[in-house]
Structure 1
Amino acid sequence: MREKFLKIKKNLIYFLCGFLLAAFMLPSLPNLSINLFSQDQKIIALSQNLNRENINSPLGINLNGIAYWSSQQPFLDYFKSSRQWITQCAKADPDCRGEWNTKEEELLDLDENGWVKSLPSPEDSPEYTRVSTVFMKGTKGIPNQFVGGKYIVLYEGEGKISYGLSAKQDEAASTPGRDVIDVDASKSNGILITILETDPNKTGNYIKNIRVIKAENESLYRSGGIFNPEFIEKINKFRSLRFMDWMGTNHSQQKEWKDRPTPDMATYTLKGVPLEVMVALANQVQADPWFNMPHMATDEYMANFAQSVKKSLDPNLNVYVEFSNEVWNWNFQQTHYALKQGQKRWGEDKGDAFRQWYGMRSAQMCEIWKGTFGNEKGRVVCVMGAHTNAKGSETKVLDCPYWVAEGNKPCYQHGIDAYAITGYFSGALGQPENASTVESWLKDRDEGMKKAFKQLRKGGLLPDDRDSLMDNYEKFVYHSNIAKERGLQLVAYEGGQHIVGRKDVVNNEKLTNFFIEINRHPQMYELYTQLFKDWKEVGGTMFMHFVDVGKPTKWGSWGALEYVDQSESPKYSALMDFITQNSCWWEGC
Structure 2
Amino acid sequence: MINACHSGGSRWAFAVMLLLGCAAMTPAEAFYNSQSALGTNTNEIMDDDSSAPFIDLMKMSVPFREARQLTKGNVEYDGYGWPRLISDGGQAGTRFVSKLPAGTIPSGPYTVLYDGEGKLEYGNDATLREHTPGRDVIILDPGKDNELNATLFIKATNPSNHLRNIRILPPGGVCSNNPFQRVANPGQCSGNFLSFEQHSSKIIFNPDYLTFMRDYRVIRFMNMSGITRNPVYAWEDRASIDQQSWGGAEGIRGAPMEVMVELANRLHADPWFSMPHAASNDFIRRFAEYVQVHLDPSLKVYVEYSNEVWNGVFTQHAYAKQQGVQMGLDPDPNQAAYKFYSKRSVDVFGIWEQVFQGNKRVVRVMSGLVGSTAMTKTILSYNGAYRFTDAYAVAPYVYGDAAALRQARSVSDIFRVMTDPKYAHSLPNEIKSIGKQAELTKSFGVDLVAYEGGQHLVDMTTKSDNQHPNNLFYEANRHPQMASIYQQLLTGWKQAGGKLFVHFSSPRIYRKYGSFGTKEYITQPDAQAPKHRALLAFTRSNQCWWSGCSGNTLVRQAKPAITLEAMKTQSEPLDATAPQYEPINGDAPPFPMGNIPPEAAEQQAVTEGTLVTMRRAPNEQYVVGGNALIRPARNRADLWQAATAYQLRTVVNGDIAGSQDLAALWQASWDQQNLYLRIGVEDDQPDVSDSTVPWEDDAVEVYLDADGSMEAQYDQRNDFHFIFNLKDGKVALGKNSPQGGRLPLSQKITRSGDGYVLEVTLTWAGLGIAPRAGHRIGLDVHVDDDDNGGDRDGKLTWKAKQDDAWQNPALFGGAILGE
TM-score in terms of structure 1 length? 0.81
Q: CA deviation at 1:100?
A: 3.8
CA distance in 2 between partners of 1:44 and 1:321 (Å): 22
Give the letter aligned to residue 163 of structure 2. Answer: I
Q: CA deviation at 1:529?
A: 0.9
Matches within 5 A, 1:177-326: 177-186=134-143, 187=145, 188=147, 190-199=149-158, 202=159, 204-217=160-173, 219-220=195-196, 222-223=198-199, 224-269=202-247, 270-326=252-308
Are 1:135 and 2:92 counterparts? no
Q: CA deviation at 1:349?
A: 3.6
SS at match of 1:137: strand
Q: Answer whether contact 1:71 1:136 (CA < 8 A) is retained.
A: no
Which residue pairs with 1:399 in the alignment? 381
> What 5-or-longer segments of structure 1 have no aligned partner?
1-5, 14-37, 89-98, 123-128, 405-409, 443-447
Give the letter aligned to residue 208 of structure 1. Answer: R
Are 1:353 and 2:336 counterparts? yes
Are 1:421 and 2:394 counterparts? yes
Matches within 5 A, 1:546-557: 546-557=504-515
Which residue pairs with 1:362 in the alignment? 345
Cα gap change, 1:334 to 1:506, in 2 (>3 Å): farther
**Cα RMSD after superposing both structures:** 2.8
Are 1:162 and 2:121 counterparts? yes
Cα gap change, 1:390 to 1:505, in 2 (>3 Å): farther
Q: Answer whether contact 2:463 2:512 (CA < 8 A) is retained.
A: no
CA offset digits 1:480-532 (Å, max 9, x no partner): 01110011111000001001114358777131000000000011111111111
Which residue pairs with 2:724 in the alignment? none
Equivalent residue for 1:382, pick from 349, 352, 364: 364
Which residue pairs with 1:518 in the alignment? 476
Which residue pairs with 1:332 in the alignment? 314
Which residue pairs with 2:556 in the alignment? none
Give the letter aligned to residue 205 of structure 1. Answer: N
SS at match of 1:321: strand
Q: Answer whether contact 1:159 1:195 (CA < 8 A) is retained.
A: yes
Q: Answer whether contact 1:49 1:285 (CA < 8 A) is retained.
A: no
Matches within 5 A, 1:71-82: 71-82=50-61
Q: Answer whether contact 1:138 1:145 (CA < 8 A) is retained.
A: no
Higher alpha-carbon Rg: 2
CA offset digits 1:148-188 (Å, max 9, x no partner): 111110101011101111000002xx321111000112353
CA distance in 1 between partners of 2:21 and 2:475 (Å): 49
Q: CA deviation at 1:453?
A: 1.9
Equivalent residue for 2:407, pick from 411, 418, 437: 437
Give the letter aligned to residue 532 of structure 2. Answer: Y
Cα gap change, 1:436 to 1:500, in 2 (>3 Å): closer
CA distance in 2 between partners of 1:165 and 1:505 (Å): 25
Cα gap change, 1:47 to 1:278, in 2 (>3 Å): same
Q: CA deviation at 1:450?
A: 2.8
SS at match of 1:509: coil
Which residue pairs with 2:445 in the alignment? 487
Cα gap change, 1:176 to 1:316, in 2 (>3 Å): same
Give the letter aligned to residue 195 of structure 2. Answer: S
Give the letter aligned to residue 284 of structure 2. Answer: M
SS at match of 1:215: coil
Cα gap change, 1:459 to 1:363, in 2 (>3 Å): same
Cα gap change, 1:453 to 1:316, in 2 (>3 Å): same
Q: CA deviation at 1:48?
A: 10
Equivalent residue for 1:153, pick from 76, 87, 112: 112
Cα gap change, 1:289 to 1:198, in 2 (>3 Å): same
Cα gap change, 1:317 to 1:347, in 2 (>3 Å): closer
Cα gap change, 1:336 to 1:74, in 2 (>3 Å): same
Q: Answer whether contact 2:38 2:501 (CA < 8 A) is retained.
A: yes
CA offset digits 1:337-374 (Å, max 9, x no partner): 11011111116843221110000000100011011100
Q: CA deviation at 1:136?
A: 1.4
CA offset digits 1:396-435 (Å, max 9, x no partner): 21122xxx3xxxxx1222x21101111210122xx2x325
CA distance in 1 between partners of 2:220 and 2:204 (Å): 18
Q: CA deviation at 1:113?
A: 1.3
Which residue pairs with 1:114 in the alignment? 81
Looking at both structures, which has the greater relative contact order when contacts are Cα pairs under 8 Å and sequence separation is at least 6? 1
Give the letter aligned to residue 519 of structure 1. Answer: N
CA offset digits 1:539-568 (Å, max 9, x no partner): 211100000110000110010011111121
Which residue pairs with 2:536 in the alignment? 576
Give the letter aligned to residue 338 of structure 1. Answer: A
Cα gap change, 1:363 to 1:103, in 2 (>3 Å): farther
Are 1:371 and 2:354 counterparts? yes
CA distance in 1 between partners of 2:441 and 2:24 (Å): 40
Which residue pairs with 1:477 in the alignment? 435
Q: CA deviation at 1:242?
A: 0.3
Give the letter aligned to residue 412 of structure 1. Answer: Y
CA offset digits 1:452-501 (Å, max 9, x no partner): 223322344xxxx2211101111111000111001111100000100111
Cα gap change, 1:368 to 1:221, in 2 (>3 Å): farther
Are 1:503 and 2:461 counterparts? yes
Cα gap change, 1:436 to 1:169, in 2 (>3 Å): closer
CA distance in 2 between partners of 1:551 and 1:498 (Å): 14
Which residue pairs with 1:23 in the alignment? none
Cα gap change, 1:289 to 1:214, in 2 (>3 Å): same
Matches within 5 A, 1:81-100: 81-85=60-64, 100=69
Aligned residues: 508
CA distance in 1 between partners of 2:464 and 2:377 (Å): 33
Cα gap change, 1:505 to 1:146, in 2 (>3 Å): same
SS at match of 2:109: strand
Q: CA deviation at 1:121?
A: 2.2
Q: Answer whether contact 1:50 1:286 (CA < 8 A) is retained.
A: no
TM-score in terms of structure 2 length? 0.59
CA distance in 2 between partners of 1:489 and 1:427 (Å): 26
